[in-house]
Amino acid sequence: MELWQQQARESLTCTQTLADRFGLDSDALDRVVARYPMRITPYQLAMIRQADDPLGRQVIPDPLELADDSPLTDPLNEEQLSPVPNLVHRYPHRVLLLVAGSCFSYCRFCTRKRKVGCAQMKITMGEILKGIDYIAGHPEVNEVILSGGDPLTLSDTLLDDILARLSRIPHLQVVRVGSRAPVVLPQRITAGLCALLQRYQPLYFLTHFNHPRELTKETVEACQRLVASGVMVVNQTVLLRGVNDDADTLYRLFHSLFRLQIRPYYLHQMDLTCGTGHFRTRLEEGIAIMAQLRGPLSGLAVPHYIVDLPGGHGKVPVTPDYVQALGDHARLQAADGTLVDYPQR
Ligand SMILES: *Cc1c(COP(=O)(O)O)cnc(C)c1O
Ligand code: SF4
């Protein structure tokens, strides 16, 4: 067994241990975990100083998750846009292929909270092969985004097998791999993995840093190994209330990533997923933050601030032009011209 597999196996799933360590109520944690699973890697746990610090908030279950009664468990309408299980085909030339049902750590704000880490999200090799067949049968698809769950929870052997099959599809030109491993289990980014990914270029590695404190010696070195292998590394950040919803924090995060040759790609407005409402900021706040970043930050380090519109209408960049503020609602214009109402908190 590799070191990272050992560490993944030692991840924290016991609420009592967490409660003891941070002085929390284990019964309250259990009620949340009965609905939404918890897992924290040993590395990430060691980085948390207090339950409510920017790192703790991202992974420690919060009773507020159960207080959120949003009706939307699948706000992006992914289930309806799935022609075969675990493949989402929303845009003409690129598809999302979910290849793993679990993650190293469970983010409390996850968009796929409805199923990530749950028994219903066991993904079989048979399903992955059907997804690959679907791509092979659709010549208009030129890019695949491997997601999940976290694709890097798969062994190198399985990952290599999937990438090799994809590379034999002549019309498929680009692969993207989305993974939070560099942030939560940097030991996963082994020399062997980097060599593997390098063989399947052009390959974009989409990682997910949310706070400058996540950039430690270990995570920085993991990113440097990826960058040195020639893989293009880009980052998405979710705008999270109480974690990173201020311009100074995001300035430090984006500038640090930029220095590491990691391009900040997206700043996501929190989706309307049930159980995540306490993380959501108002759109106006995100717009104000972006306006503050624009001057100080290198243009190369400024991400697109986007909303993935409810109902599967797709991602739209949020700039003042796209938003009509209507008190408790904002109206956003989708890429296809549709006007979509967006509730504010
Ligand atoms: C986000 C997403 C993509 C990728 O969109 P980009 O704007 O190219 O990053 C593709 N398919 C689905 C279903 C998505 O949600
Ligand atoms: S790593 Fe990604 S898929 Fe996994 S819980 Fe976090 S946000 Fe969700």
Q: What is the pLDDT of residues 133-151, one digit of tens each?
A: 999 999 999 999 999 899 9
Q: What is the pLDDT of residues 242-279, one digit of tens each?
A: 999 999 999 999 999 999 999 999 999 999 999 999 99
Q: Where are the beta strands (DSSP E) in the chain?
A: 87-88, 94-98, 143-147, 174-178, 203-207, 232-238, 263-268, 304-309, 314-317, 323-326, 329-333, 339-343
333 Cα–ligand 2 center, Å: 27
- Give the ligand at the shortest distance from the Cα of 273: 2
From 2, 35, 19, select the one nearest 275 (Cα to Cα): 35
Q: State whether the beta carbon of 180 lies less than 6 angstroms from ligand 2.
A: yes
Q: Which residues of the chain have pLDDT under 50?
A: none
Put simply, whether the predicted model's pTM sits higher than 0.75 gets the answer yes
Per-residue exposure over 280-291, b if at least 16 CB sit within 10 Å of its own CB, e if not: bbbbebbbebbe
What pLDDT is attached to residue 315? 93
89 Cα–ligand 1 center, Å: 9
222 Cα–ligand 1 center, Å: 25
38 alpha-carbon distance from chain centroid: 16
Tell me the catalytic residues: 90-91, 94, 103, 107, 110, 112, 271, 308, 315
